Amino acid sequence: MTTLKRKGMWALVSMATLALLIASCGGDDDTPTPRPTATTTVAQPTTTAPTATVPPAPQRGGILNLRSTADPRNLDPLQSLSSSDVPFMVPVFDTFIRSTPDFGVTAGLAESWDVRDGTNIVFVLREGVKFHDGTPLNAEAVKAHFDRAVDEQLASIQGQFLTSVENIEVLSGSHLSVSTFAPNALLVSFMADRLGFINSPTAVNSATLDQYTRNPVGTGPFALDEWVSDSHITYSAFDDYWQGGLPLLDGIKRFVIEDPAVALAAFRSGELDVYKPEPAQVGLIENDPDLTIVSWSSPGYNYFQLNRTMEPFGDIRVRRALSMAVDRAALIQLEYDGRATILYGPIPPIFAWAYDPDFKAYEYNPDEARRLLAEAGFPNGFTIDPVVWFGGTARRPRLEALQQMYGDIGVKLELLQIASGDASRGFQREWIYPAYSSALDPRTELQLLMSEHFKSTNAKNVGKTEIPGYDALLVQAEGTFDLVERGRLYRQMQKMVVEDMAMYVFLHIPFVYEAVRDYVIDYVSHPTEQVELSKVRIER
Partner 1 sequence: MKRLIIQRLIALPPVIFVVTMITFSLVLLMPTDPTDIIMGEEVNPALLERVTRELGLDKPIPVQYINWISDVFTGDLRHSIRTHLPVTTELKNRIPVTLELGILGLALSLIVAIPVGIISASRPNSAIDSAATLFAMWGVAMPNFFLGILLIYLFAVILGWLPAIAYVPFSEDPWLNLKGMILPVIAFSTTHTAVLMRQTRSAMLEVLRQDYVRTAHAKGFTERKVMTRHALKNALTPLITVAGLEVGQLLAGSVIIETVFGLPGVGRLAVTGVITSDFPVVQGVLLFAGAWVILANLLADITYGLVDPRVRSG
Residues that bind partner 1 (CB under 8 A): 70-71, 73-74, 81-82, 152, 155-157, 160, 210-211, 213-214, 228-232, 255-259, 261-262, 265-266, 268-269, 271-272, 418-422, 424-425, 429, 441, 459-460
In whole angstroms, how close is the CB of 360 to partner 1 at the nearest point?
A: 28
Q: What is the DSSP string of 407-443?
A: HTTT-EEEEEE--HHHHIIIIIIS--SSEEEEEPPP-
Which residues have CB under 8 Å from 43's CB, separation 6+?
37, 97, 105, 106, 107, 111, 112, 113
Which residues are paired to 253 by β-bridges?
65, 234
In whole angstroms, how close is the CB of 182 to partner 1 at the nearest point?
A: 23
DSSP helix/strand/coil, 328: helix
Q: 65 or 534: whose CB is closer to partner 1?
A: 65
Say if CB 516 and CB 67 are below 8 A apart.
no
In whole angstroms, how close is the CB of 288 to partner 1 at the nearest point?
A: 12
In whole angstroms, how close is the CB of 512 to partner 1 at the nearest point?
A: 20
DSSP β-ladder status, 120-125 and 97-99: unpaired
Backbone angles phi, psi at 250, to 5 degrees: -70, -35
Q: 160 or 456: whose CB is closer to partner 1?
A: 160
Dihedral angle, C-alpha 428, 434, 439, 440, nearest 10 °: 40
In whole angstroms, how close is the CB of 429 to partner 1 at the nearest point?
A: 8
In whole angstroms, how close is the CB of 166 to partner 1 at the nearest point?
A: 21
Q: 114 or 210: whose CB is closer to partner 1?
A: 210
CA proximity to 102, closest of 30, 22, 28: 30
In whole angstroms, how close is the CB of 489 to partner 1 at the nearest point?
A: 25
Please, what's the largest Cα pairwise distance for the chain?
76
Say if CB 165 and CB 180 are below 8 A apart.
yes
Taking the C-alpha atoms of residue 99 and residue 190, their distance in angstroms, rounded to an integer, is 10
Q: 212 or 336: whose CB is closer to partner 1?
A: 212
Q: 363 or 441: whose CB is closer to partner 1?
A: 441
Q: 23 or 81: whose CB is closer to partner 1?
A: 81
In whole angstroms, how close is the CB of 234 to partner 1 at the nearest point?
A: 11
* 240 DSSP 8-state letter: T
In whole angstroms, how close is the CB of 385 to partner 1 at the nearest point?
A: 19
Q: 35 or 73: whose CB is closer to partner 1?
A: 73
Which residues have CB under 8 Å from 208's CB, separation 6+?
none
In whole angstroms, how close is the CB of 451 to partner 1 at the nearest point?
A: 13
Q: 85 or 102: whose CB is closer to partner 1?
A: 85
In whole angstroms, how close is the CB of 364 to partner 1 at the nearest point?
A: 29
What distances in angstroms separate CA 383 from CA 340, 366, 374, 428, one per listed residue?
Answer: 29, 17, 15, 21
Q: How many CA atoms lie within 13 A of 140 on its CB side?
A: 5
Which residues are paired to 213 by β-bridges?
none
Q: 242 or 255: whose CB is closer to partner 1?
A: 255
In whole angstroms, how close is the CB of 233 to partner 1 at the nearest point?
A: 12
Q: 44 or 420: whose CB is closer to partner 1?
A: 420
Alpha-carbon dihedral sign for residues 382, 388, 392, 398: negative
Say if CB 288 and CB 277 are below 8 A apart.
no
Helix/strand/coil percent split, the chain, to 5: 30, 20, 45
Angle at 141 between CA 137 and CA 143, to 5 degrees: 135
Q: How far is CA 24 from the centre of its chain?
A: 23
Say if CB 267 and CB 65 are below 8 A apart.
no
Q: 227 or 382: whose CB is closer to partner 1?
A: 227
Q: 210 or 485: whose CB is closer to partner 1?
A: 210
Q: 180 or 438: whose CB is closer to partner 1?
A: 438
Kindly tell me the burial class for residue 520, based on how many C-beta atoms sit within 10 Å of its own C-beta (0-12, 13-18, 19 or more): buried
In whole angstroms, how close is the CB of 503 to partner 1 at the nearest point?
A: 17
Q: Which helix (H) or strand (E) holds 224?
A: strand 222-228
